[in-house]
């Protein structure tokens, strides 16, 4: 190949490129679409993780709908207060930044606490196990322990403990709600940071069954409900429920008599200490 | 007559999607709704027709005289990419909802191998200018046809009770395969 071919090649392709780009820039002028400059600004303030925690496909779409007024300004659960304020400023609105949400695991039935009804040898996924006979634990409401939530977390805020339960690292949790979404048992709940008192159980069985399947199940004894003011806690479907509108924001137990310790204060991650092992 | 045969051959007998299996990505991606399938098909048809004409001109007036046929891929892609940009701007201007519906598949027309395939086929088969223009329109019509048939079937499937393991991608692949089988029935109708 001689040098001429090279020159012709460069010149022809460069020329073609020039012609097309000139044509395109003319077309750009003709087909120019006025885009709201606020969308780009808001996009700059968003985390850019495209986690989908806001319910839209990504940060760009969220910016779009916020400007259109179809989404709450503080609708991004991952943004910190400063970013939310900045978005408010761009739109000229005051923002009540909303409280930070944190994922909470509503189950303490790890490998030590819950008896197993069978050995599950199928696909190692919570969804798989929940479809196939509801997992290996006796408690049908419990954490299945395959860590699908941990895999779903894009912020390194979860890990599996030795006890086979996911542990949430409060500092890393952004409240995007991905883990709660993937959990087939619906035992991960999103709670505001100020909620301190929890009933860490979702078991709706009666006392006898609940006791048999897990050492830390709510057995619906009602001792907590009797120890608080009317309406602060209620007993529903064999499960104690905290009414956070009036109660549960103080780090104080209403009673230390909860026989199964499923009523507890959220604190540092539970130590992976074996408690009493139940026999199946 | 010859041109009519060429058109039918490109659109039905040698359908780009269902016989050559080119351009499968938008075929699966944008075939959920008939209306967006039609728009996508028309966008591809437009790009195909103009590509067929422009690449013919470039190939025969620039590449062949200067003996730089090796650059056909580069120049063809350049043409296709520019055209897609143009279509994208046009659609964004004319219909924002349609722009949102087509989403990523609109810029992806650039990398749609059906279009590059069309340009390369017409060089390979030594079509004249008019022939490659007709070939382009025919291929575009064929693409639209495949997309619309697929979208029609998928709209019906939305309402039917599909066994759980087949839902989503699974049933789509099965339908696409059955369609391709059906189109094989045209083989031998015309030999071009």
* pLDDT at A1 (0 to 100): 61
Give the pLDDT confidence of A164-190 residue by residue, as tens digits: 899 998 888 888 888 998 899 999 998
| Structure token digits, residue A207 | 């006392």
Indicate the pairing of strand A188-192 with strand A101-105.
antiparallel
Cβ contacts below 8 Å, chain A against chain B, sum to 44
Residue keyed to tokens 């699974």:
B170
CA distance B94 to B37: 17
Are B122 and B55 a contacting pair, CB within 8 Å? yes
Q: Which is nearest to B20 in space by CA: B115, B102, B110?
A: B115
Are A188 and A103 a contacting pair, CB within 8 Å? yes
CA A91 to chain centre: 28
For chain A, give the number of residues: 280
Are A28 and B87 a contacting pair, CB within 8 Å? no
Banded model confidence at residue A39, pLDDT cuts 50, 70, 90: confident
Q: Which is nearest to A164 in space by CA: A146, A140, A183, A137?
A: A146
Mean pLDDT of chain B: 88
Q: What is the dihedral of CA B19, B22, B28, B33, to 10 degrees?
A: -80
Are A181 and A152 a contacting pair, CB within 8 Å? yes
Give the pLDDT confidence of B17-66 residue by residue, as tens digits: 998 889 888 888 888 889 889 988 988 998 999 999 999 999 999 888 88
Are A191 and A266 a contacting pair, CB within 8 Å? no
Residue of A2, A4, A12, A23 to mutate when probing chain B, most B C-beta within 10 A: A12
Sign of CA dihedral B162, B163, B164, B168: negative
For chain B, give the number of residues: 192
* pLDDT at A95 (0 to 100): 64
Planar angle of CA A170, A173, A178, nearest 5 degrees: 135
* pLDDT at A187 (0 to 100): 92
**Closest partner CB to A24 (pick from B67, B74, B85):** B85
pTM (2 d.p.): 0.56
Banded model confidence at residue A22, pLDDT cuts 50, 70, 90: very high
* Four-way CATH pick for A37-91: 3.40.50.1820, 1.10.10.10, 1.10.15.40, 3.10.450.50: 1.10.15.40
Residue keyed to tokens 């301190």:
A196
- With a cut of 80, say whether residue B137 has pLDDT above it: yes
Whether residues B75 and A16 touch (CB distance < 8 A) is answered with: yes
Residue of B57, B68, B76, B119 to mutate when probing chain A, most A C-beta within 10 A: B68
Domain range summary for chain B, segments of one domain joined by +: 2-184
**Closest partner CB to B90 (pick from A17, A20, A31):** A31
Whether residues A16 and B86 touch (CB distance < 8 A) is answered with: no
Whether residues A9 and B86 touch (CB distance < 8 A) is answered with: no
Give the pLDDT confidence of A203-219 residue by residue, as tens digits: 888 888 888 888 888 88
Q: Residues of B at the A interface (Cβ-Cβ below 8 Å)?
A: 58, 62-63, 66-68, 71, 74-75, 78-79, 82, 85-86, 89-90, 92-93, 96
How far apart are the CA of A30 and the nearest CA of chain B, in angstroms?
9
Whether residues A9 and B90 touch (CB distance < 8 A) is answered with: no
- With a cut of 70, say whether residue A269 has pLDDT above it: no
Give the DSSP letter of residue B190.
S
CA distance B138 to B125: 15
Q: Give the CA distances from residue B173 to residues A254, B20, B27, B151, in Å, rounded to whole numbers and listed in that order.
A: 58, 16, 11, 13
Q: Which residue has the higher pLDDT, A203 or A98?
A: A203
- With a cut of 80, say whether residue B79 has pLDDT above it: yes
Are A168 and A104 a contacting pair, CB within 8 Å? yes
Whether residues B68 and A8 touch (CB distance < 8 A) is answered with: yes
Banded model confidence at residue A273, pLDDT cuts 50, 70, 90: very low
Q: Please provide residue B11's backbone torsions phi and psi, each rounded to the nearest 5 degrees.
A: -80, -40
**Closest partner CB to B75 (pick from A13, A27, A31):** A13
Q: What is the mean pLDDT of residues B118-127?
A: 91
Q: What is the mean pLDDT of residues A119-124?
A: 83
Q: What is the mean pLDDT of residues A249-269?
A: 77
What residues pair up with A188 in beta bridges, in sequence order? A105
Q: What is the mean pLDDT of residues B111-121?
A: 89
**Residue A205: CA count within 13 A, CB half-sphere:** 17
Closest residue in chain B to residue A13, using alpha carbons only: B75
Q: How does DSSP assign A70-87, residue by residue?
A: -S-TT--SSS-HHHHHHH
Sign of CA dihedral A144, A145, A150, A152: negative
Banded model confidence at residue A98, pLDDT cuts 50, 70, 90: low
ipTM value of the model?
0.76
Q: Which is nearest to A107 in space by CA: A196, A185, A197, A20?
A: A185
Sign of CA dihedral A174, A178, A181, A187: negative
A residues 90-109 lying closer than 8 A (beta carbon) to B? none
* pLDDT at A61 (0 to 100): 82
Q: What is the mean pLDDT of residues A185-197?
A: 88
**Closest partner CB to A20 (pick from B74, B82, B92):** B82
Q: Which is nearest to A146 in space by CA: A167, A125, A162, A122?
A: A125
Whether residues A8 and B66 touch (CB distance < 8 A) is answered with: yes
**Closest partner CB to A5 (pick from B68, B78, B89):** B68
* pLDDT at B179 (0 to 100): 92
Mean pLDDT of chain A: 83
Angle, in degrees to the nearest 10, between helices B113-124 and B34-58: 40
Q: A94-98: which pairs have CB atoms within 8 A and are 24 or more residues apart?
A: A98/A72, A98/A74
CA distance A244 to A49: 31
A4 part of contact set with chain B, CB < 8 Å: no
């Amino acid at each position: 190949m001689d040098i001429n071919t090279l020159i012709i090649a460069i010149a022809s392709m460069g020329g073609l490129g020039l012609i097309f780009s000139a044509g395109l820039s003319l077309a750009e002028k003709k087909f120019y679409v006025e885009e709201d400059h606020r969308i780009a600004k808001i996009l700059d303030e968003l985390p850019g993780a495209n986690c989908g925690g806001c319910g839209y496909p990504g940060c760009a779409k969220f910016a779009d709908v916020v400007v259109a007024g179809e989404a709450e300004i503080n609708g991004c659960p991952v943004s910190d207060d400063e970013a939310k304020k900045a978005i408010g400023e761009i739109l000229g609105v005051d923002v009540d930044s909303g409280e930070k949400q944190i994922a909470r695991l509503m189950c303490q039935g790890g490998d030590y606490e819950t008896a197993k009804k069978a050995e599950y040898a199928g696909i190692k996924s919570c969804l798989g196990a929940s479809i196939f006979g509801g997992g290996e634990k006796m408690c049908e409401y419990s954490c299945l322990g395959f860590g699908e939530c941990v895999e779903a977390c894009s912020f390194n805020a979860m890990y599996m403990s030795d006890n086979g339960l996911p542990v949430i690292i409060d500092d890393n949790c952004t409240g995007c709600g991905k883990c709660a979404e993937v959990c087939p048992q619906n035992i991960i709940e999103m709670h505001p940071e100020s909620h301190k008192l929890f009933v860490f159980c979702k078991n709706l069985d009666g006392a006898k069954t609940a006791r048999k399947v897990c050492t830390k199940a709510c057995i619906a004894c009602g001792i907590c409900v009797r120890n608080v003011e009317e309406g602060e806690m209620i007993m529903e479907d064999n499960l104690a429920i905290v009414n956070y509108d009036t109660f549960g924001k103080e780090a104080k137990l209403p009673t230390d008599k909860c026989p199964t310790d499923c009523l507890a204060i959220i604190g540092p991650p539970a130590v992976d200490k074996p408690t009493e092992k139940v026999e199946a | 007559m010859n041109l009519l045969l060429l058109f039918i051959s490109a659109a039905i007998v040698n359908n780009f999607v269902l016989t050559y299996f080119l351009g499968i990505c938008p075929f699966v991606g944008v075939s959920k709704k008939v209306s967006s399938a039609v728009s996508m098909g028309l966008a591809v048809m437009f790009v195909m027709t103009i590509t067929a004409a422009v690449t013919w001109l470039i190939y025969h007036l620039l590449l062949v005289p200067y003996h730089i046929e090796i650059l056909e891929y580069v120049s063809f892609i350049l043409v296709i990419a520019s055209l897609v940009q143009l279509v994208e701007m046009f659609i964004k201007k004319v219909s924002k909802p349609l722009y949102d519906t087509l989403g990523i598949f609109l810029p992806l027309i650039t990398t749609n191998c059906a279009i590059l395939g069309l340009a390369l086929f017409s060089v390979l088969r030594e079509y004249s200018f008019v022939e490659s223009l007709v070939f382009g329109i025919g291929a575009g019509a064929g693409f639209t046809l495949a997309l619309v048939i697929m979208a029609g079937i998928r709209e019906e499937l939305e309402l039917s009770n599909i066994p759980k393991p087949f839902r989503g991608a699974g049933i789509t692949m099965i339908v696409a395969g059955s369609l391709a089988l059906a189109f094989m029935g045209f083989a031998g109708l015309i030999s071009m």
